[in-house]
Amino acid sequence: MSLLIKKLLLTLIFNSSLFILLIFGIQNSSNKSKVDLLFEETVQLPIGFIVGTSFICGSVLGSFLNINFNKKS
């Protein structure tokens, strides 16, 4: 398997499991809030869900970065 496919598969499995744990953990959360978007507001969601999904989205987007630390000057 190529390195890219392994990386995408690992990212998908890891973030999916985090999302499932987030769903189970938020079941009894009572602190709810709305998120202000540019033109509208979202429905009331638990604060932990908003923070958790932001973390997961950042993890997915960060996994696509390719940083090369080997500078040859």
Q: What is the pLDDT of residues 4-61, one digit of tens each?
A: 788 888 888 999 999 999 888 888 777 888 878 788 887 888 888 888 999 999 988 8
Separation CA 21–CA 13 (nearest Å): 12
Residues whose CB is less than 8 angstroms from the CB of residue 55 and which lie 6 or more positions away in sequence, other chains included: 18
Separation CA 34–CA 44 (nearest Å): 5
Residue 72 clears pLDDT 80, i.e. is over it? no
One DSSP character per residue, 18-34 reads HHHHHHHHTTT---EE-
Enter the pTM of the model: 0.71
